[in-house]
Amino acid sequence: MCGIVGFTGRTDCVKVLLSGLESQEYRGYDSAGIAVLGQDGLQVRKAAGRLANLRAELTQNPVGGCTGIGHTRWATHGEPNEVNAHPHTDMSGRVAVVHNGIIENFAELKSQLIDQGVKFRSQTDTEVVAQLLGLCDRGDMRATLRQVLPMLRGSYALVIASASQPDTLWCVRCNNPLVIGRGEGANYIASDVAALLRYTREVYLPDDHEVAEITADRISFFAPDGSPIEKEIQQVGWDVDSAQKKGFDHFMLKEIFEQPRAIADTLRHYVDTDTLTLRRDRMPFTRKQAVLLRQLTIVACGTAYHAGMMGKSLIQRLARIPVQAEIASEYRYSETLATENEVVIAVSQSGETADTVAAVRKAKKNGQRVISLCNVIGSTIARETDAVLYTLAGPEIAVASTKAYSTQMLLFVLIALDLANLRGELSDEEL
């Protein structure tokens, strides 16, 4: 998954952009780039390979300005090289875009734009977005986005910079993570909150299709029809130290050693360790709901799915309830028959896993109650489910999951014990 960062403020943005990209290197990437709005207009610098190559390019060809965007790319359309690296610009070089996701109808749009005389430089789907914005822009990017976004099919997190409004950034998401950080005289955009912790712990979490307009002093949100939206600020509980290696050789090693703390924090949140009783107000089932429960379906992807399989075994054995565990990408496209008094449990570390988000929405549409196990407060899955149990693992930056998986399994243990007790399969003493 690509890394995105944006900054607008009163200081030079290049250091902030590079720092934000560095904090997202764990996602994997094959090229990197930034676009900066300064006295010389919109300036783009890109390089294939590691961030060190981009830093070398900036040493040779420096840029400066107070507003900019950056990106680390994992190639999907076109080979990994400098031309295909983000940011991408329109034909005039006045609009720049960074993008995470897939524009599914890019070939059709590209063909239409070529017929209108637009010349493309890259093989990417993202350049189509930049060219559309440049072609439609009349100096009001918010109005331009209202025109262009309905043309796009697929998933995306987009951040846009325009020479016509050099102190402003715009961003929008659809089934891809994006977070906006509020600072003092500066505001930030990233695809991962870890990229912002050095600068702020106050964030906004935009919903799908909401457009955010960001300057150094203001963050405004707008619905797809252009009407303004009021959003609440969220406080991130993690600190900057939790997103640093702190002496370990790499993040995975650090996170292996953080497992005891993560398990203890999560356990204490759901269990009174003095009385050894569950904190029932934090558990997802009432006694009546537990007794009426006829089936559980667990949906997840990757490592979270393996935690779900563990949960299936525990719940069936202890609570005597039929449980099925399904990979979310299969569940979202399969023909499912909703059972009366069936509950769906969605598991996701980030709370933004696209297939799991889609599975949650399908279950909700089918009228089912949906519970989530999630590590990120205020994430899409946490907001869209009927109840959420948080794994208090802190940021997990290594690609291979450690502490998030451990705490997910812990929550399944607690859910299984709780259901068994509420259904009369386990006495209070045994619990």
Are 138 and 117 contained in the same domain?
Answer: yes
Does some domain include residue 297? yes
Burial of 382 (0-12, 13-18, 19+ CB in 10 A): buried
Residue 337 in any domain: the answer is: yes
Shared domain check, 230 and 370: no
Whether 234 and 347 map to the same domain: the answer is no
What is the reported pLDDT for 251? 86
Q: Which residue, of 213, 243, 273, is where some domain finishes?
A: 243
pLDDT per residue, tens digit, the chain (431 aa), is 688 999 999 999 999 999 999 888 877 789 999 999 988 899 999 999 999 999 999 999 999 999 999 999 877 777 888 999 999 999 999 999 999 999 999 999 999 999 999 999 999 999 999 999 999 998 899 999 999 999 999 989 999 999 999 999 999 999 888 999 999 999 999 988 888 888 998 999 999 999 999 999 999 999 999 999 999 998 887 666 676 777 888 888 999 999 999 999 999 999 998 999 999 999 999 999 999 999 999 999 999 999 999 999 999 999 999 999 999 999 999 887 777 889 999 999 989 888 999 999 999 999 999 999 999 888 889 999 999 999 999 888 887 899 999 999 999 999 999 999 999 999 999 99
Residue 427 lies in a domain: no
What is the total count of domains within the chain? 2
CATH of the domain at 184: 3.60.20.10
DSSP 268-326: HHHEETTTTEE-GGGSS--HHHHHH--EEEEEE-HHHHHHHHHHHHHHHHHH---EEEE
Cis before 87 (ω within 30): yes
pLDDT of 312 = 98
Residues 287 and 396 in one domain: yes
- DSSP code of 202? E
For residue 430, tell me if it sits in a domain: no
**Structure token digits, residue 88:** 């991408």
Segments of 301-421 assigned E as strands = 323-327, 342-348, 369-374, 387-390
CA distances (Å), 425 to each of 79, 216, 296, in order? 57, 58, 17
What is the C-alpha to C-alpha distance for residues 181 and 360, in angstroms, rounded to an integer? Answer: 27
**296 plus 375 within the same structural domain:** yes
d(CA 112, CA 126): 15
Does the residue 16 lie in any domain? yes
Query: Which two tokens mark 170?
Result: 């715009």
Does residue 428 fall inside a structural domain?
A: no
Residues 180 and 262 in one domain: no
- How do 31-38 and 67-73 pair as beta strands? antiparallel
Contacts of residue 68, defined as CB under 8 A and 6 or more positions apart, other chains included, come to 6, 7, 8, 13, 14, 17, 34, 35, 36, 37, 161
Considering 220, 243, 266, which residue would you say is the last residue of a domain? 243
CB 350 within 8 A of CB 378: no
Tell me phi and psi for residue 204, to 5 degrees: -110, 145
Domain membership flag for residue 431: no
Q: Which two tokens stand for residue 369?
A: 């109650």
The residue type at 7: F
269 & 121 share domain: no
206 and 266 share a domain? no
Same domain, 178 and 262: no
Q: How far is CA 51 from CA 70, 75, 124, 302, 397, in A?
A: 11, 15, 20, 28, 18
- Which H or E element spans position 70? strand 67-73
CA–CA gap between residue 355 and residue 24 (Å, rounded): 22
Any idea what the CATH number is for the domain that residue 340 is in? 3.40.50.10490
Same domain, 256 and 226: no
Which of 208, 243, 278 is the last residue before a domain boundary?
Answer: 243
Two tokens, residue 419: 């259901």
**Could you give the CA distance from residue 108 to residue 101 in angstroms, rounded to a whole number?**
17
- Shared domain for 192 and 297, answered yes or no, is no
Q: Identify whether 164 is part of a domain.
A: yes
**Backbone torsion region of residue 125, taken as left when φ is above 0, otherwise alpha when ψ lies between -120 and 50, otherwise beta:** alpha
pTM of the complete model: 0.83
> What is the extent of the structural domain holding 260?
251-422
CB 245 within 8 A of CB 251: yes
The amino acid present at 230, given as its one-letter code, is: E
Same domain, 355 and 211: no
Please tell me the predicted confidence (pLDDT) of residue 340.
80
